[in-house]
Structure 1
């Protein structure tokens, strides 16, 4: 790429944030969606910046985009400065009567479903100047590196260096199947009895298979469930169980409505103790944005009311 006059290499704040977004998402399409642009407009903006700087910041193929060596060095210098600018702008939020801006949350699909109505929508009703952007995915991500204000995950998976605030009551798993599946079959009374049944297996986002964990009176049992169907989504597992495909070991929270109306039958309930629920977590070493602080207030209020 040809060299340009050094004064032509100056980049604006928008272009610097565009570089960060593309490097974070490794995709012009996803970065453009975050920035509210079309992918072509973002691509042209990055190309124009590269032309002015006289270096290629990204290596592009038809299937991927990644920082070049020059891009990595550039980003390492500008990203801390952008964080400082963002923090300075956020600090002015302290002087407003109500917070403004965008609250970005990363969560598992199950966690997002549990907090959406009681907490997120209530937060938006109280703070109409705030926007909320929730990204759901099975894999665990570095919320700081990915530009999120906070994450929502199971309490036992929150990194130790994060501050965690409980946002759901204790949870448990439920072992369920449809009445049609159990028709003519003996219901399992112990986890070992599952060996005689078709189990709907669960796959991690990483590709590994869940073991079904049970406990009763201090005795713990892990079962490698066997069955012809493997899924990676609790909603799909419940749907399959409703159709009589087998026994599912799934979120009791998600299965509760179907158990209540009789479309699913729970077994081994005495082997399914409660465990710590979902938490919203955020880095403790950084300034807490006004929007996140307001959201945490709503979370604590809803949790307190639900525990009465």
Structure 2
């Protein structure tokens, strides 16, 4: 094949497939949807292969398109890193920093680290994607991820922040007035519990520990949710016992709307970490973010 797509063509193709939308890709690239559509049709015609399935509502890669994207992603990412490395010989850090995080982690960062970072580095665009699922940050094009320490892959470099974390079993005073307060995790099996469905579809098993004894309980209950903040709100309404991060429960505990139970079975665990692959060049923008994060951590100590 003598024809070779341009870098603009390949960037456009990757954006369209990633967003599954010409409109969203056009917004990212600063082009019109019609321009992108014309670029892709011209690219397909000159390559002699169909790369995209188009409908009136969506767009998706063909088998050939999927193969191209799989091989293209690391190439585009390496090119971005190479340009970033060269840019470090200049002045102020710039570019886009992409971080994948849980919603709770993003809220923690918004308290201090993100405002300070944006003020200090106005040339950097910070793109934070919040998801409950644990993603492959390298494969999906992120510079870093943020999760609880226990969820960080072993081959990643981790930067801890925010102190230790803790999960609490909580219920409203009204619920506990009508139901005997649990004394052990096993007692939860006789209660209405508000369950959490994980992104994989599996139900989260509640984990407790006391004096080195670990207990995992598969709770039952009529209500299942997929968001810990909704679980806390459901507990406030007296719908049962929920098991949520202490950060989520704290304002409700302070107001007296909920009470924590099984406190002695809920120890602290290692908290949040920013993590990134150590075998690749660390972008200047990420180094700047880590510097701000550790500064905020020292000030909060």
- TM (norm. structure 2) is 0.90
* Cα-to-partner distance string for 1:219-238 (whole Å, 9 max, x where unaligned): 11111111100011011101
| Separation (CA, whole Å) in 2 of partners of 1:178 and 1:270 | 19
| Separation (CA, whole Å) in 1 of partners of 2:209 and 2:296 | 30
| Separation (CA, whole Å) in 1 of partners of 2:125 and 2:212 | 46
| Separation (CA, whole Å) in 2 of partners of 1:66 and 1:263 | 50
Structure 1 spans left out of the alignment, 5+ residues? none
CA displacement at 1:92 relative to structure 2: 3.0
For residue 284 of structure 1, the aligned residue among 278, 284, 297 is 278
Query: For residue 294 of structure 1, what is the aligned residue in structure 2?
Result: 288
Distance 1:105 1:32, change over 3 A: farther
Query: For residue 58 of structure 1, what is the aligned residue in structure 2?
Result: 52
1:54-93 superposed matches below 5 A: 54-60=48-54, 65-69=60-64, 71-72=65-66, 74-75=68-69, 78-93=72-87
Kept after mapping to 1: 8 A contact 2:73/2:141: no
Is 1:189 matched with 2:215? Answer: no
Query: For residue 243 of structure 1, what is the aligned residue in structure 2?
Result: 237
| Separation (CA, whole Å) in 2 of partners of 1:38 and 1:228 | 48
1:151-230 superposed matches below 5 A: 151-230=145-224
Structure 2 spans left out of the alignment, 5+ residues? none
Which deviates further from its counterpart, 17-26 or 132-141?
A: 17-26
| Separation (CA, whole Å) in 2 of partners of 1:290 and 1:206 | 34
Query: For residue 20 of structure 1, what is the aligned residue in structure 2?
Result: 14
Distance 1:75 1:232, change over 3 A: closer
| Separation (CA, whole Å) in 2 of partners of 1:152 and 1:33 | 27
* Cα-to-partner distance string for 1:86-105 (whole Å, 9 max, x where unaligned): 22321233133321111111
CA displacement at 1:149 relative to structure 2: 0.8
- TM (norm. structure 1) is 0.88
Distance 1:74 1:207, change over 3 A: closer
| RMSD (Å), alpha carbons | 2.3
CA displacement at 1:44 relative to structure 2: 3.5
For residue 139 of structure 1, the aligned residue among 120, 133, 137 is 133
CA displacement at 1:137 relative to structure 2: 1.2
| Separation (CA, whole Å) in 1 of partners of 2:150 and 2:283 | 25
Distance 1:35 1:235, change over 3 A: farther
For residue 266 of structure 2, the aligned residue among 272, 285, 295 is 272
* 1:95 partner SS: coil
Paired positions, count: 300
| Separation (CA, whole Å) in 2 of partners of 1:38 and 1:188 | 60
| Separation (CA, whole Å) in 2 of partners of 1:143 and 1:184 | 46
Kept after mapping to 2: 8 A contact 1:191/1:221: yes
Distance 1:219 1:73, change over 3 A: closer
